[in-house]
A and B are shown apart, each in its own frame.
Chain A
């Protein structure tokens, strides 16, 4: 900084408005603590104009003069569009067997590389899915997932699907590693409607 430069920065404000002598005058006045009574009156008027709009809408809502678009989340929830893609679910067949066969095609298709599948072999004593193979480990890193739905597209058995649950916030990054247990559809054999009944309905 040069010695002869003024240390008062107010004179340095360069804005097109400053070319207006009234504005310049006003700003210089109030920043130097020499404001006048009419300076405040202008601000009060501006505030009142703004709040009158708010108040107008408030009355309209209270007196139900216009329909409302706001809902009371989380007490109220909106119906999602049919093809919404949010949280993944690993689905089951009606007899409770897992649809996933641990083929890792979803992981191959995933552009974010956020799926980890480790397969194992079914045995008669421990049958997890139909056929020879099942997913022993299935994890999705939700932080990396971009909800593109490619995994659902790639799945040959329709096991992994993206459904409508969008409430995925959490307090730690680790909580976003969804394990197979978290992803798997709960199964309650007794509450299940047999597939034949569903077909008839």
Chain B
């Protein structure tokens, strides 16, 4: 068990005791793990107990405050006599014990529930018709099922100004708050910024940020879903719709590589809000704010509705027929002298067909998907081994680790869901965290807040830091001591250039020595100019810990990994297979700038904005003899194109994304594409057919089946197996 002492009521977040006890709920005999909360035992058995403040993922520290889950409890003494507790108990804090007899549906309990609801409603405005929660509100539902039909309260209710802006995204209605403390516990337990608190006392209690600062958490959107009433609502969804007017479709977040499962709530073909969809192995039930509030691009008025062709310097709308004819002519004329750049935002199906078109029909190997400054060539075995394979651990397994080292990453920003797992491992599972970086962030929550040791080194000295760590680790292991104070004889000064103290290094090393370790390396490692050396030092460090450890270098865009898997790399075909080399992004841009590349196809990428060498990108894009861009809107790159093909968003197509941990997940189609836009894969399939492809693809399933057959590692993935929680692709041995 961890050395951080957990309160007994937090037990539900940890592996349950293997010992089982016999309890009776409403006359049903159950055998449940000892210490499990009665509310969880009842809910698992399908017995309904109403609640507001209880939440399985939040600590029960200051919970049991809504009093809704009251039950009557009796205990059986060893001699068989039954003794009833004189007062009802809260089921959410009651650990199951042998012989417990619980009643959830007695006359007394029903009266208590009515009373509790009456108290909760005393200061509640009951403005359900204008409340964004109305229709999906636990308070409404519980009042309907368990409450009195009329109010006896005739006095004046508590009044506050409506719609207090907690932040740009979250709006607070203090009148509606029932003080359940779910939101405050979320910021304590999950996001870690601890920005929300319950202020004042008695009936004046209100939720707020300390000193009325802005609630700028990176995970603030979750409290909107957590709040059991309409006290916390979303600025963007405010008054947009009622739940019964909404349609919902399953989807995958397109904002980062973590692959959060989300639900798109839409009305009249417009996405109005994004909620988390439960996936215990990925995002549990959370999203980050980028995912929750960042999907307005789907229904943006700027979306392209038909193909655009440049005529006399201006874009004119043309039909698909004209667009395809022009593109096919240009590609035929260019022969092998063409190339494609696909961003990490397009689906596996699109990229798979794109590389097939270039490799098999056009005979060109100029394909790439990388816009960042990784110096490794894609054919380098180290590239495959370290960057193309994805993470060494699954996201869900991070919480099983004893020690987690995060290096060179603002994790909360780069990999929000990984951050939440790391924090959960620390907060509820007793893991220790070592944070290594050249700076601290000003973000409201960060790994450095809870790391046992922060190694903030002088920029540029990262390799020395890792060497020092390795040496310290060797000393710790040889002395077989894991004390926090370095023994005198081991007290050798670390290299001065790093600016770190010997104490910190020793502390970090002794944590690393404890085993079950994982290292998460961020952007500043994977894009470092000395990446090879850094990678070597990290693997050496792992090797010298004496325990099975894994290195995780997560990719960054929602389908970066899938794009590489599908073979969108020079010299690396689908599933890491070897194939003829070609030009990479930088070479293509250079060739295009020199006028040597006849046609460049940019799919779902914006090199002008995102390529690490901006000057080269602009020159390459502007001088390209024929630039075709498939995009949702007129990006900086698309503005400079000769032909723009309107593509569709995640809401309008079926497709698959491969997340940073290698989980292949499916996008479901919510509504029809805007205008005449088409999914990227369909654009490529139709063009391939025009150019004489032998295999024709008509549906998403056709393409996925073909991927399943032809891409090593994706054998198990087909329309029948993928489901709505996704399955892992396997990593083929680097070829």
Contacts and interface: CB of A to CB of B under 8 A. Distances in A.
A131 B130 contact: yes
A133 B240 CA distance: 10
B46 interface: no
Interface string A150-174: 0000001100000000000000000
A104 B244 contact: yes
Nearest to B238: A121
How many of chain A's residues touch chain B, expressed as a range? 10 to 19
Contacts of A101: 129-130
A183 interface: no
A31 B128 CA distance: 77
Given A104-B242, A121-B239, A156 B163 contact: no
A108 interface: yes
A90 interface: no
Contact of B130 (A108, A117, A132): A132
User: Which of A101, A103, A105, A121 is the most central at the interface, judged by chain B CB atoms within 10 Å of its CB?
Assistant: A103
Given A108-B242, A120-B239, A121-B238, A103 B163 contact: no
B163 A108 contact: no
Given A132-B162, A132-B163, A156-B129, A119 B244 contact: no
A105 B245 contact: no
Interface in A59-109: 101-105, 107-108
B192 interface: no
A144 B669 CA distance: 29
B307 interface: no
Nearest to B162: A132
B662 interface: no
Given A132-B130, A133-B130, A156-B129, A103 B162 contact: no
B713 interface: no
B242 A103 contact: yes
A101 B240 CA distance: 13
A103 B245 contact: no
Given A132-B162, A132-B163, A105 B129 contact: yes
Contacts of B135: 108
Given A108-B244, A132-B162, A103 B134 contact: yes
B639 to A, nearest CB: 33
Contacts of B242: 103-105, 107-108
A101 B163 CA distance: 16
Contacts of A103: 129-130, 134, 242
Contact of B245 (A107, A120, A156): A107
Per DSSP, chain B at the interface is loop
Contact of B239 (A108, A133, A157): A133
Interface in B234-259: 238-242, 244-245
Contacts of A156: 129
Contacts of A117: 245
Interface in A116-139: 117, 119-121, 131-133
A101 B132 CA distance: 13
A139 B127 CA distance: 24
Contacts of B129: 101, 103, 105, 156-157
A64 to B, nearest CB: 57
Contacts of A104: 241-242, 244-245
Nearest to B173: A132
Contacts of A121: 238-239
Contacts of A119: 239-240
Interface in B99-154: 127, 129-130, 134-135
B242 to A, nearest CB: 4
A6 to B, nearest CB: 60
A83 B502 CA distance: 88
A36 B320 CA distance: 78
Contacts of B238: 121
Contacts of B163: 132
A176 B127 CA distance: 33
Contacts of B240: 119
A44 B170 CA distance: 88
A103 B245 CA distance: 11
A199 B135 CA distance: 37
A133 B163 CA distance: 12
A156 B131 CA distance: 13
Nearest to B242: A104
Contacts of A102: 130, 239
Interface string B682-696: 000000000000000
Contacts of A131: 127, 130
Interface in B67-119: none
A102 B130 CA distance: 8
Contacts of B239: 102, 119-121, 132-133
Contacts of B127: 131
A49 B135 CA distance: 68
Contacts of A108: 135, 242, 244-245
Contacts of B241: 104
Interface in A12-39: none
A101 B127 CA distance: 11
Contacts of A132: 130, 162-163, 239
A117 B245 CA distance: 9
A132 B162 CA distance: 8
Interface in B289-315: none
Nearest to B135: A108
A131 B162 CA distance: 9
A108 B135 CA distance: 10
Nearest to A109: B244
A115 B302 CA distance: 29
B161 to A, nearest CB: 11
Contacts of B244: 104, 107-108
A104 B240 CA distance: 11
A104 B134 CA distance: 11
A108 B134 CA distance: 12
A107 B135 CA distance: 13
A119 B16 CA distance: 48
Contacts of A107: 242, 244-245
A6 B103 CA distance: 89
Contacts of B134: 103
Contacts of A133: 130, 239
User: Which of B162, B163, B244 is the most central at the interface, judged by chain A CB atoms within 10 Å of its CB?
Assistant: B244
Nearest to A129: B130
A157 B241 CA distance: 18
A132 B132 CA distance: 11
Given A108-B244, A119-B240, A131-B127, 14 more contacts: A102-B130, A103-B130, A103-B134, A105-B129, A107-B245, A108-B135, A108-B242, A120-B239, A121-B238, A121-B239, A131-B130, A132-B239, A133-B130, A157-B129
9 contacts: A103-B242, A104-B244, A107-B242, A108-B245, A120-B239, A121-B239, A132-B162, A132-B239, A157-B129
Q: Which 5 A-B pairs have the closest CB atoms?
A: A103-B129, A133-B130, A119-B239, A104-B242, A108-B244
